[in-house]
Structure 1
Amino acid sequence: MPTFTAPDGTDLAHHVRGDGEPLVVIPGGPMRASAYLGDLGGLGAHRRLHLLDLRGTGGSAPAADPGSYRCDRLVDDVEAFREHLGLERMDLLGHSAGGSLAALYAARHPERVSRLALITTAVRPLGLRATPEDRLAAARLRESEPWFDKAYPKLRAWLAGDAEYDDDFTPFFYGRWDTDAQAHAAAELEQTNEEACDLYYDGIETAVDPAALRAALTRLTAPVLLLAGGLDGGPSPELARRTAEAFPHATVAVQPGAGHYPWLDDPEAFTARLRAFLDGGR
């Protein structure tokens, strides 16, 4: 497992999968080890994936300063990762909460990004986040599922703040609730740094000014792809379209039948769309 050192001395790990031109990958969660990404549905057959374990996750050391788990402060780790890989410019992919970090990086270092793919991402530092109404509207698309009647009331209670998270509504985050999805979901708790998860966005509303971030993103000349799942409520396809407005050269694609992890729901469709974008399409 390759390692490198962050500017503050924290030892960080990353994983290499596949072969081809490099693609730097930032995981979501927030603060979930990159193992959950696998090889992104077979994308590793076409690209060399460099998957970063954020500090405090996977093989990376915990932070001495808990405040450094906040996503805007993690930008320096991503820049150190680029330097470690020896890339003048890089194709960059962020999933979910990792897309917020990728967008913050692109705003601070626009000249270092050649292409940016944001997968099921709403960039929260822009003031954009999924609402309970978004999530419930997406959930109602699953009314024909055998688990819906049990899961939906629990999801509604959780979103209202009246109940704790319940595994019974986890299927809403996946387009297909099959054995692969169940195994993927079961690994989440062990792969996630719960303390760091709570700190990832802590105070981000005051640390990052959305208007200033939008202004900084206007300097990004790289093509941007925002891929949304047709069954995902966080972000919904409409929220992905609103997010795209912050980028000068953005395209939105919706993968039908996909939830929050589209490479699991339809690997061939996901890989084909990402290959087309990374190889020069829009």
Structure 2
Amino acid sequence: MLTPQTFSAPDGTMLAFHDSGPDAGSEAGADAGAPLLCLPGGPLQDSAYLGDLGGLTAHRRLIRLDLRGTGASAVPDDPASYRCDRLVDDVEALRAHLGLDTVDVLGHSAGANLAALYVTRYPERVGRLVLVTPGTAAVGLDTAPEERLAAARLRRDEPWFGPAYAALEEVTAGRGTGETFQAVTPFFHGTWDEAARERHAAGEGQRNGAGAGVFASEGAFDPEATRAVFAEFTRPVLVVAGEGDVNTPVPTAAAYAELFPKATFVVLDGAGHFPWHDDAERFRETVGEFLK
């Protein structure tokens, strides 16, 4: 495992990032050494869960940022700095640390909210933008309960479906509890096998719960301002959805893609909220081709 590298955030918090993949000029191609800055979800999840994004390092050099208070990054003195809009300066500090005029950015899940705010504030710094099963708070998109339930019903033949679906009905009706939220976990994975269970268990201990509670707190998002920037953002955008993702169902992800003048929208069949695990080959080929 590579030792994480560090840099200082504007407020002095020491942050870490993980640099992996081919060097420029390697057999992977001339573009392979160009960094892809990867922003994890959770929110406030250790970036370790992203791994190599299904082998995407065959195409690009990946820079995984450990957001403050997660992974190898330090806990900030000011807990209010976990708010999503305040994390934007950490992303910009990393771009500057890498010495890049522009950088390609990938945001997964809640990390897509941070990517969206980075584009809003620094659109000239983003070369290409990849949003994977994106969270939508930053752009003010709501998901109808029936969209989530329809995605879940694709799994009706699974042996665990009955109790999990009943729990999802409770969650979508606004009656979710800690127990029911845990019960719907299988719907986030294209295959609820032992490997998925292990990943889920590992992720439970890699999230900064206190920071997560601040991430989307009042004042974090201005959807109208973000949509206005997106409407003028003409650089390449890719939105990736999982066919069975109940967190960001296909109709919601499609509506997200439509916020841009021209975006590529791809649905991965049989995939859930972590599509690089469910169809690694198609995921890396889709994203890799887009980034060329």
TM class, shorter-length: over 0.9
Equivalent pairs: percent with the same residue? 53
Alpha-carbon shift at residue 214 of structure 1 (Å)? 1.4
Q: Distance in 1 between matches of 2:176 and 2:131?
A: 32
Answer with 28-37 or 131-140: which moved more: 131-140
Residue in structure 2 matched with residue 109 of structure 1 by the alignment: 122
Contact kept? 1:111, 1:220, Cα under 8 Å: no
Give the deviation of 1:249 after TM superposition: 2.5
1:245 equivalent to 2:258? Answer: yes
Q: In the alignment, does 2:144 pair up with 1:141? A: no
In 1: Cα distance, 2:190 partner to 2:131 partner: 18
1:95 paired residue among 97, 100, 108 = 108
Correspondence list, 1:68-217, <5 A:
68-159=81-172, 160-166=174-180, 167-204=182-219, 207-217=220-230
Structure 2 gap ranges (5+): 23-31
1:163–1:24 distance in 2 versus 1, CA, 3 Å: same
Distance in 1 (CA, whole Å) between partners of 2:144 and 2:178 is 17
SS in 2 for 1:258: coil
Extract unaligned runs of 5+ from structure 1. none
Q: Deviations over 1:167-214 (max 9, x none)?
A: 33211000111222111111111110001111110114xx53322221
Deviation, structure 1 residue 154: 2.0
Check if 1:5 corresponds to 2:8. Answer: yes
TM-aligned CA deviation for residue 162 of structure 1: 4.5
The aligned length equals: 277
Task: Note if contact 2:36-2:63 (Cα within 8 Å) is conserved in structure 1.
Answer: yes
C-alpha contact (below 8 Å) 2:240/2:265 kept by paired residues: yes
With structure 2 as the length reference, what TM-score do the two structures score?
Answer: 0.91
After superposition, residues 40-79 of structure 1 pair within 5 angstroms as: 40-79=53-92
Which amino acid counterpart does residue 79 of structure 1 have in structure 2?
E
Which segments of structure 1 move beyond 6 Å, counting only runs of 4 or more? none
Give the aligned residue type for 1:161. Answer: R
Q: Is the CA contact 1:221–1:248 (under 8 Å) kept in the aligned structure 2? A: yes
- Cα separation, 2, equivalents of 1:267 and 1:29: 21
Quote the Cα distance in structure 1 between the aligned partners of 2:65 and 2:142: 24
Q: TM-score, normalised by structure 1?
A: 0.94
Greater shift in the superposed pair: 117-126 or 223-232? 117-126
